[in-house]
Amino acid sequence: MVFCNNANLLNVFVRHIANNQLRSLAEVATVAHQLKLLKDDFFASDQQAVAVADRYPQDVFAEHTHDFCELVIVWRGNGLHVLNDRPYRITRGDLFYIHADDKHSYASVNDLVLQNIIYCPERLKLNLDWQGAIPGFSASAGQPHWRLGSMGMAQARQVIGQLEHESSQHVPFANEMAELLFGQLVMLLNRHRYTSDSLPPTSSETLLIS
């Protein structure tokens, strides 16, 4: 299993710099602007459709894109998330749907803890309405930023824990089990998410405070 942590991200960035034979700080800045995270660095095989990348904590990270998509859930802390040149002040309960073509970065982080559930749309095999449940599933469009209340966070954490365990297994049908759990998570988020200017799905639900 490829470990998807901050050290791995640093190694990707350093290798990217070395491969481009940079000779100046200006060139480093240019490469950072062009940084692209690749499937081979985050997925155990070309059969794996879903994995979990922990950010404990999420450090400041330069603008980048991916050749995979991700769901981002913020568990603790706060910071600035710049997505496609739009800044979002993020804190516990924020949810983002990131398409491969989206560019984003993190700055001004303060004890920011989040998880990225990363996935490759072309590898998903379950016959689910992924397009309807995941904003921007097939293109960088739709509403990328949502919120979760305490109930949605608790249920999501439980499923993500199972997904993280299953996606690290080297046993028969591990990829299939991980995809089933991913489908459950996607539908759960679809049920509980709400926009920042609206009330949560259940008015009695306790809102999260960072």
Establish if 135 belongs to a structural domain.
yes
Residue 135 belongs to a domain with what CATH number? Answer: 2.60.120.280
Dihedral (CA of 127, 132, 133, 139) sign: positive
For 100-124, write each residue's pLDDT tens digit.
Answer: 999 999 999 999 999 999 999 999 9
pLDDT grade for 22, boundaries at 50, 70 and 90: very low
Establish if 109 belongs to a structural domain.
yes
DSSP secondary structure letter of residue 152: H
Residue 95 is part of which domain span? 6-192
Give the count of alpha carbons within 13 A of 105, CB side only.
14
Dist. CA 99–CA 207, nearest whole Å: 27
For 40-86, write each residue's pLDDT tens digit.
Answer: 999 999 999 999 988 778 888 999 999 999 999 999 999 999 999 99
The CA–CA distances, whole Å, from 42 to 8, 9, 46, 55, 84 equal: 9, 9, 10, 13, 22
pLDDT grade for 23, boundaries at 50, 70 and 90: very low
Establish if 207 belongs to a structural domain.
no
Given a cut of 50, whether residue 7 has pLDDT beyond it is: no
In the prediction, which pLDDT does 8 show?
Answer: 52
Given a cut of 50, whether residue 6 has pLDDT beyond it is: no
In the prediction, which pLDDT does 123 show?
Answer: 96
In the predicted model, what is the mean pLDDT of residues 168-187? 95
Dist. CA 195–CA 126, nearest whole Å: 28
Dist. CA 145–CA 83, nearest whole Å: 10
Measure the CA angle with vertex 79, ends 138 and 70; round to 5°: 20
Phi, psi of 94 (to 5 degrees): -75, 145
The total domain count for the chain is 1
Nearest to 66 by CA among 17, 111, 121: 121
* Type of residue found at 204: S
111: left (phi over 0), alpha (psi -120 to 50) or beta: left
Establish if 54 belongs to a structural domain.
yes
98, 72 Cβ separation under 8 angstroms: yes
Establish if 97 belongs to a structural domain.
yes
Establish if 198 belongs to a structural domain.
no
In the prediction, which pLDDT does 103 show?
Answer: 96
The CA–CA distances, whole Å, from 199 to 78, 126, 145, 148, 171 equal: 21, 32, 15, 10, 42
Dist. CA 55–CA 114, nearest whole Å: 5
Establish if 210 belongs to a structural domain.
no
In the predicted model, what is the mean pLDDT of residues 151-161? 98
Q: Tokens 């539908």 map to which residue? A: 187
Establish if 177 belongs to a structural domain.
yes
